[in-house]
Amino acid sequence: MAPANAYFHSAGERVLADGKTIPPGQHEEFSDYIAAASFIHSADSWAYLGRALHAVLQGDVHGAVHLCYYAELRAAVSLLSTEGIYIGNRCTLALTNAGAVEVSGAGTHVAAWMVLDSWARSARARDLIGKILRPIGAPLHEWANNMGSGIQPVIEGLLNDIAFDLSTFSEDRNRRNHVSYQPTRVEPDDLSADESARIVDDVWTLLEPESRGTFPVLDRLLLRHLAVGVFAPTHEVVGADGMPTGLTDWTDWAAWLDSVAPGGAERDPYFASIRAKPNDATRDGSLEAAFTRNQGAPTTYVREMILRTTLLARLSTGACVELLDDSGLAADDVSTWVFGLGEARALWADDVPDPMVDLWADAQVAKEELEVASKTSHHALIKGMREYLAVLGQAERVAAWSFAS
């Protein structure tokens, strides 16, 4: 986006000054602004998530919930921006061929979740998610079409399972309000150092890349969850009384999975693993908490909130990469911005990583240090992590290796 763009400085104020509309002559400039903003919101989402992870490691659960909510919000705004939807202060606009149309006058937080809830039910959402999730190298829509049910019920099932709805995000906002404005230690509520470490380890396990813009571990785990969700309801064990027992008959699982897999999937070790054993808590546990909904004190829900945010941030990042590819641009076109982000956030010492995905190496070492660090207390954990503690709080690394090559 050029500095001469009318929305380069204080876009929100400019929109309000123009009466919550976009003058016809500035439609292209506003489109450029929204497109650029989608990448920045995505990176900011990862940054907030990283700070939430850092807070978890330091034993600050309330701070983690506060930061996680803003990571969630920024990911939502990023995702909607890639779809041409501007979320502003009491002004939400949708770009159309005829110009910008106001779709809500609600505040930023209310509007973001309301519009996201509506978007998630649309054909555009199904098409986009079906393209950007690529388990075992094939887009999700290929797997879904082979399952016979098509992409619609598969995507709807995924979004429902991760509580991707207005009520959940509104609840997360209420949780943010509670931890941000109420005294935090009237009734102490703390995670153990071991519990904190497991949350952070699970998130970084999900983030391991294969190449620019890929999330192979996360996408594979989502595939297993979706496949089981499609197979199990039609293969229930029936009791002697003719009534369903709530158990699944896995007899035909391997043959069914073979029939829905795109070519080449059989060579993937994870595919072979879920083919042999569809449910394995040790293998799949890093993601499963994202599909739960707990009530109570922050320690009961911080894990699921962080994992749900990780999924939403993954979707927003994938949408940004898809937008870049669809526009005919390439990673080099955003590299200068990524370089500036990396230097400002101390993601590297001197030379820019080449390829950018090499940023994962630091995270991998930090993850290994986390696994062996003492967890007798948060103090022992922090002291044992040394400089690697900072790395595990730099989740904007994901934006850097996803957007630049």
Phi, psi of 300 (to 5 degrees): -80, -20
Which residue has better confidence, 87 or 184?
87
Q: Is residue 278 pLDDT above 90, yes or no?
A: yes
Mean local confidence (pLDDT), 70-79: 95
Look at residue 163 and tell me whether its pLDDT is greater than 70: no
Rounded to an integer, the average pLDDT of 119-136 is: 91
Q: Is residue 258 part of a domain?
A: yes
Answer yes or no: is 2 within a domain. no
- Structural domain count, the chain: 1
Band of the pLDDT at 289, cuts 50, 70, 90?
Answer: confident
pLDDT at position 300 is: 94
**Quick check: is 36 in a domain?**
yes
Inside any domain, residue 3: no
Which residues span the domain enclosing 163?
11-403
Q: Has residue 291 been placed in a domain?
A: yes
Q: Convert the pLDDT of each residue in 202-248 to its tens digit.
A: 999 999 999 999 999 999 999 998 899 889 988 999 998 988 899 99
* pLDDT of 160 strictly over 90: no
Average per-residue pLDDT for the chain: 92
pLDDT at 166: 60
Q: Are strands 244-248 and 236-238 parallel, antiparallel or unpaired?
A: antiparallel
- Asked if residue 1 belongs to a domain, the reply is no
Q: Is residue 6 included in any domain, yes or no?
A: no
Residue 160 belongs to some domain of the structure: yes
Mean local confidence (pLDDT), 318-343: 94
Over residues 292-304, the mean pLDDT reads 90
